[in-house]
Structure 1
Amino acid sequence: MEIIALLTILTPFLGAILTLLVPKESAKWICQIFAGLASLGALSLAVAFFNQGSVSTTFPILQISHIELFGLTIDKVSALITFAVVVLGLLVSIYSLGYMNEGNREHPHNGEPRYYAFLLIFIGAMAGLVLSSTILGQLLFFEITGACSWSLIGYYQKPTSLKAALKALLVTHVASIGLFIAAAFLFKATGTFSVSAIAGLDDYTKVIVMLGILFAAWGKSAQLPLHVWLPDAMNAPTPVSAYLHAASMVKVGVYIFARAIMSAGEIPEIVGIIGVVGATITLVYGFIMYLPQKDMKRLLAYSTITQLSYIFLALSLATFGSKLAFEGGITYIFNHAFAKSLFFLVAGALSYTCGTRMLPALKGIIKASPLLAVGFCIAALAITGVPPFNGFFSKFPLFAAGFDLANTHPWLLPIMVIALIESVASFGWIMYWFGKTVVGEPSEAVASATPVPASMTLVLVILIVMSFASSFIASSWLS
């Protein structure tokens, strides 16, 4: 398993180097090959873990004087999330074959080798972060993902995109201070950077370490007050928005917080209280902010902020001892990655074929492109938690755990009621735009739509299927 995990991490980095060395026309195919190899590695890792009895294992990789600097942790959670982030990277690279060309009516442009190189680097960095057993390793890959995000947000080299890229880099880098603080206090108290050492800390030090990780998580997962970079990051190419800013990079924050909770043993309640309050405030703010949005990608950006708040809420509830809340949070990470990627890539397909992603200009999609209409509908139902789509199997455990904990922590009851109201209201608002854009006679932009390329169609179909199937994959795997 150790070798498979290392190859899964390193293969995309090797592919990134090759994309810059081969002729420009070959770069996109090198990206497909190495993203595919990394996906095969992620799948092989899950199979090997299962065949060895699904026993959590840590492999030290780099040590100095018995101090573990970097290692790999392979367990049910890391194997599941690694599969999600790497396979989604492959799907986005396949989608990019169609999207990044001169036929794109909104952004006619053939993808440069640097686009595919940074996409591969990001896939490798995400695998490394998810599998890392030390805070130092998490910090290294945390910063690499930030650099990739900076490059890809500013990819089109326009003033607005360059400004948005710099904002994302600065905010997420400031957030990394939390990991520096956590690593320093952990090392001072235990002499190691291993995440598993958090369990041995005294309550005072444990609170500092956990809050440092939570601060870093807020920045990477766009939670108040460190959310400001995500809406502007929509200046990136849509496949980048789908992968980095909906499915993968924004999941770094919730994942490192989840990993810390798994390793910390008994957690002081103040950590859970701060997490719950922060998640609730961000949840309400995100909902209010996406109400006036007319740009489909910006609406989805604020929706993502809100959905990440639900994951933080679930994980924060888990600090009070709820196993159901924790499993619901992990399942939410997995399910939301596929459903929100579908929504973003539907938006990208609309901008490709219609030349716009402004919602008021889109009407009658179902007559011009039934596939995009179905994708829009399923993505909307999935992220708002309507059964039998995957979002329901994420939200239901969260609400069940929250209302159960309210019996012993009464202050949680109004929190859960607020979350429930937001969930219903978000369903209503997204369905409002579904009715405005999907049905009816085609608008001028929709009537003149061009065909969706085969590579983009294939990815949309796969994500539609995963919007049904991912919850069953996650639940059976975690159980």
Structure 2
Amino acid sequence: MVGELVTLTFTVPLLAGLILFKIDGKRADILMIGSLFTAMITQFALDYGYVSSGEGLIHVVYLKTQSFGEVYGIIIDPMSVLIGTVVAVAGFIFMFYGMEYMSERNLGHPGGRGRGLFYAWMALFEGATLGFVYSSTFLGLLIFFEVMGLACWGVVSYYNTREARRAGFKAFIIPNVGAMIGFYTAIGIGITQLHNLSLFSLSHLPPSVKPWLFLAILIAGYTKSAQFPTYSWIPDAMEAPTPASAFLHGAAMVEMGVYLVARVLQFIGPLPLWVFYFMAVMVSLTLLIPMLNYPVQNDAKRLLAYSTVAEAGIMFVGLTFASLGLRIGLQASMFQLTAHAFIKGLGFLTAGSFTYSLGTLDLRKISSLQETLPVSGFSWAVALLGLAGLPPMAIAFSKGELLMSLGEAWTHPLAWVPVLLVLADSVVFLWVGTKWIGRNVFGRAGLGGIEVRTHPVITASLITLMVLALVSAYLAYPLVEAIGFYGGV
């Protein structure tokens, strides 16, 4: 039964996406939100069925051949159920908000006609992401990885300006190069050496091959998650409509690079120590990039984009320690991914409310939000302080687990460097964030008594995300604690 529910979670949005290319207006609104609502409810039913079954791991094989072994199947376990729930819930909230954001009432980007195309790409985006989360073979992962990339190109280039077209091309090419390196290597090794494309076969690889296959997958993950040196596509991708930016950063593209590496680590088994050192150096270089860029950002979405580079880097810090066989590193990474989804979504949807109500994302032009847009002002403060890691936001607890639970790794040289940089990133972002809160929320200059309008859909979405940003740690932790390795680590 749970296998059929998994299939429904991603096939409904995928089919709706194909239909949405042909329709527009209210019909498109109904089909889009109906398909994402169906995916979310189906995911909740899957959650209930999985937890009730008491099974740790459910593996369903749909296609198997003599030559290639398992070609396509699904894995239902604590990690896929947790992240699938995050994707389904966040996707629904972001696009519930998106129906109003894409309307003609948006001051900065008046919409209306043509939004069916945007909905089509977003439905495909969510369906492909859910399919990716549950896939059990490299071929399945590759197919959904590429559909995600295509959908990302569609939403980033949606406004069809010169900048949007350039950003969409960049957002498609860079992760696709990583996919070619990572997935083609994994599929090639699976065909020639393992005669099986399943993740379960990874533990049977010769020790001399394991680190090189993992390194290839790591490149795919780094490009997808905008890590050093391939981070530049993510700030440029802010040309997308804001609901797409929220999904891209909070629950899809960026997080799926992390998820891919975590999934492979679950099954591949022990790796040599040099892999740990390589990952520690790369994530340390990544964390330096946003710290240098935070102070010079004046655009709300670009500020949040550099924060995403750092937050994904923090997830990779957990995976760096997971490469040593530390289960807590795997758990901390997925905990961080879950908590980040809602606080980052809150940040982006708040930035979208600036576009909707004020017609600008320039933080230098935004002030006195406590009077003109009190809910947006409060949510902006919550988002910035939460991303800096301050309690009681859920992300404070996920970062805390990462920083406080890796004592076993301190015996390794350089282990302290990425952890120290996580703390430094939080300090720098807190400094920059408090500066903008003071100016945007409590500043007096700028709006001069102009009447500012918002909409109940915008307000409801922000309030819902604030609640989830508070409680997601409590809700996610039972599944986080159950995440572990399957490859003999």
Interval of TM-score (by shorter of Structure 1 and Structure 2): over 0.9
- 1:186-201 maps to which residues of 2 (within 5 A)? 186-201=190-205
Aligned CA distance change for structure 1 residues 401 and 202 (closer, same or farther; 3 Å) = farther
Q: What is residue 439 of structure 2 aligned with on the other side?
A: 436
Aligned letter for 1:264? I
**Match 1:184 to one of 162, 181, 188:** 188
- 1:335-414 maps to which residues of 2 (within 5 A)? 335-406=339-410, 408-414=411-417
Aligned letter for 1:321? G
For the residue of structure 2 that corresponds to 1:411, the secondary structure is coil
Q: Would you say the 8 A contact 1:242–1:345 is kept in 2?
A: yes
Determine if the alignment matches structure 1 residue 156 to structure 2 residue 159.
yes
Question: Which deviates further from its counterpart, 327-336 or 199-208?
Answer: 199-208
- Structure 2 gaps of 5+ residues are 482-489
Determine the C-alpha separation between the residues in 1 that align with 2:100 and 2:347.
Answer: 17
The CA deviation at 1:321 is: 2.5
Aligned letter for 2:232? V
- 1:256-267 maps to which residues of 2 (within 5 A)? 256-267=260-271
Q: What is residue 122 of structure 1 aligned with on the other side?
A: 125
**Match 2:421 to one of 418, 422, 426:** 418
- 1:109-148 maps to which residues of 2 (within 5 A)? 109-110=111-112, 111-148=114-151
Q: Would you say the 8 A contact 2:283–2:313 is kept in 1?
A: yes
Q: Would you say the 8 A contact 2:294–2:429 is kept in 1?
A: no
Q: Would you say the 8 A contact 2:329–2:402 is kept in 1?
A: yes
The CA deviation at 1:312 is: 0.5
Q: What is residue 486 of structure 2 aligned with on the other side?
A: none
Determine the C-alpha separation between the residues in 2 that align with 1:462 and 1:54.
Answer: 31
Determine the C-alpha separation between the residues in 1 that align with 2:229 and 2:443.
Answer: 40
Under a length normalisation based on structure 2, what TM-score does the superposition of the two structures give? 0.95
The CA deviation at 1:449 is: 5.2
The CA deviation at 1:225 is: 1.3
Question: Which deviates further from its counterpart, 143-152 or 188-197?
Answer: 188-197
If asked which structure has higher relative contact order (CA below 8 Å, sep 6+), I would say: 2
Question: Which deviates further from its counterpart, 154-163 or 397-406?
Answer: 397-406
Q: What is residue 485 of structure 2 aligned with on the other side?
A: none
Determine the C-alpha separation between the residues in 2 that align with 1:215 and 1:299.
Answer: 25
Q: Which runs of 4+ in 1 moved over 3 A?
A: 20-24, 401-404
Q: What is residue 3 of structure 1 aligned with on the other side?
A: 4
Q: What is residue 67 of structure 1 aligned with on the other side?
A: 69
Determine if the alignment matches structure 1 residue 289 to structure 2 residue 293.
yes
Determine the C-alpha separation between the residues in 2 that align with 1:300 and 1:14.
Answer: 32
May I ask how many residue pairs the two structures share in their alignment? 477
Q: What is residue 45 of structure 1 aligned with on the other side?
A: 46
The CA deviation at 1:322 is: 2.0
**Match 2:212 to one of 208, 212, 233:** 208
Determine the C-alpha separation between the residues in 2 that align with 1:121 and 1:332.
Answer: 25
Q: What is residue 305 of structure 2 aligned with on the other side?
A: 301
Determine the C-alpha separation between the residues in 1 that align with 2:381 and 2:456.
Answer: 21
Aligned letter for 1:71? G
Q: Would you say the 8 A contact 1:149–1:244 is kept in 2?
A: yes
Aligned letter for 2:274? I
Under a length normalisation based on structure 1, what TM-score does the superposition of the two structures give? 0.96
Q: Deviations over 1:146-189 (max 9, x none)?
A: 00010110101111100110111111111112221122123322
For the residue of structure 2 that corresponds to 1:350, the secondary structure is helix
The CA deviation at 1:398 is: 1.1
Q: What is residue 477 of structure 2 aligned with on the other side?
A: 475
Determine the C-alpha separation between the residues in 2 that align with 1:60 and 1:123.
Answer: 23
For the residue of structure 2 that corresponds to 1:68, the secondary structure is strand
For the residue of structure 2 that corresponds to 1:203, the secondary structure is coil
The CA deviation at 1:135 is: 1.1
Determine the C-alpha separation between the residues in 1 that align with 2:72 and 2:84.
Answer: 17
Q: Would you say the 8 A contact 1:136–1:183 is kept in 2?
A: yes
